[in-house]
Amino acid sequence: MSSDARGVRHRVRRHPERGHYDVDSIDAILDEALVCHLGVVIRGEPWVLPTIHARVGDQVYVHGAVAAASLKAMASPAVCCLTVTLVDGLVLARSAFNHSLNYRSVVVRGFGTLVSDPVEKLMALKALVEHVAPGRWEDARPPSPLELRATQMVRLPLAGAIAKMRTGPVKDDVEDLGWPHWAGVLPLQVTAGAVEPDSQMANPTAPTPEYLANYVRARR
Ligand SMILES: Cc1cc2nc3c(=O)[nH]c(=O)nc-3n(C[C@H](O)[C@H](O)[C@H](O)COP(=O)(O)OP(=O)(O)OC[C@H]3O[C@@H](n4cnc5c(N)ncnc54)[C@H](O)[C@@H]3O)c2cc1C
């Protein structure tokens, strides 16, 4: 597949140099972001809800309770919008006007489809668990038939997805370079804290899994 194989329906207009349309850039951001925001219209009103997502190939999956109104609206089918955002740094310019963030984001618009095939549903559930903690699926009890029935899974194609990124130093106007105060970038990243083992673990001496001991949101 070529790097631009999903097609481009829209282009970034503000700062067009920050727009990226290739599969690798879009997938890397979707895979690193822990959560997305899902925008849907329910009974004529807009709603934006945070939820976990997982990308598998050219699709992104979201899941929830069978009764979840946001997922029902997404799979009605109706046009919906899914976004992810990674904040990489604070950009502290000399002028207030040129303050910014370094970021990577993706916007996907399209029509969601309910996943009815149980094999695909299970595959997507595994992808969701692995998206949060790669390696975790093997350590988790598999879903029961009842749990599978109680779960609504929706897929959204990545056709036309757009990435936008700001990277690099402050960009001040030349006439502001004499300003005497500090200017620059404060990089930010997600870091894991110390694990908190559950007090009811059947095996209280079970070692902390490797995938938690070295947990990072992998950047590629
Ligand atoms: C980081 C994160 C990850 C999540 N991941 C998942 C997931 O993978 N699957 C899942 O089903 N849910 C997830 N949730 C919860 C999700 O945001 C919704 O609350 C849930 O899906 C219920 O959706 P619903 O359409 O049934 O909402 P309803 O319960 O019908 O919502 C009714 C109203 O409650 C309010 N509301 C709903 N959710 C939120 C919220 N999160 N914050 C503030 N107000 C809210 C809104 O006004 C909404 O219209 C996640 C939440 C967070 C913060």
Which tokens belong to 157? 């194609």
Residue 173 is assigned to a structural domain of this protein = no
Count of structural domains within the chain: 1
pLDDT at 219: 82
Residue 32 is assigned to a structural domain of this protein = yes
Over residues 30-81, the pLDDT tens digits come to: 999 999 999 999 999 999 999 999 999 999 999 999 999 999 999 988 899 9
pLDDT at 3: 56
Task: Decide: 42 in ligand 1 pocket, CB within 6 A.
Answer: no
What is the residue with the minimal CA distance to atom 47 of ligand 1?
A: 47
pLDDT at 2 over 70: no
pLDDT at 9: 79
Residue 113 is assigned to a structural domain of this protein = yes
* pTM for this predicted structure: 0.93
158 Cα: distance to centroid of ligand 1 (angstroms): 22
Q: How far apart are the C-alpha atoms of 112 and 106, rounded to whole Å?
A: 17
pLDDT at 77: 81
Mean pLDDT of 183-202: 96
pLDDT at 141 over 50: yes
In 3-state terms the chain splits into helix, strand, coil percentages (rounded to 5) of 20, 35, 45
State the average pLDDT for the chain: 94
The domain in which residue 123 lies consists of 16-167
12-21, 99-108, 172-181: segment of lowest average pLDDT: 12-21
Q: CATH number of the domain that 76 lies in?
A: 2.30.110.10
132, 148 contact by CB (below 8 A):
no
Residue 122 is assigned to a structural domain of this protein = yes
Residue 58 is assigned to a structural domain of this protein = yes
In this prediction, what percent of the chain has a pLDDT beyond 90?
A: 90
Residue 54 is assigned to a structural domain of this protein = yes
Task: Decide: 52 in ligand 1 pocket, CB within 6 A.
Answer: yes
51 Cα: distance to centroid of ligand 1 (angstroms): 7
In the beta sheet, which residues pair with residue 79?
111
32, 217 contact by CB (below 8 A):
yes
Mean pLDDT of 154-161: 95
Residue 185 is assigned to a structural domain of this protein = no
pLDDT at 4 over 80: no
Residue 81 is assigned to a structural domain of this protein = yes
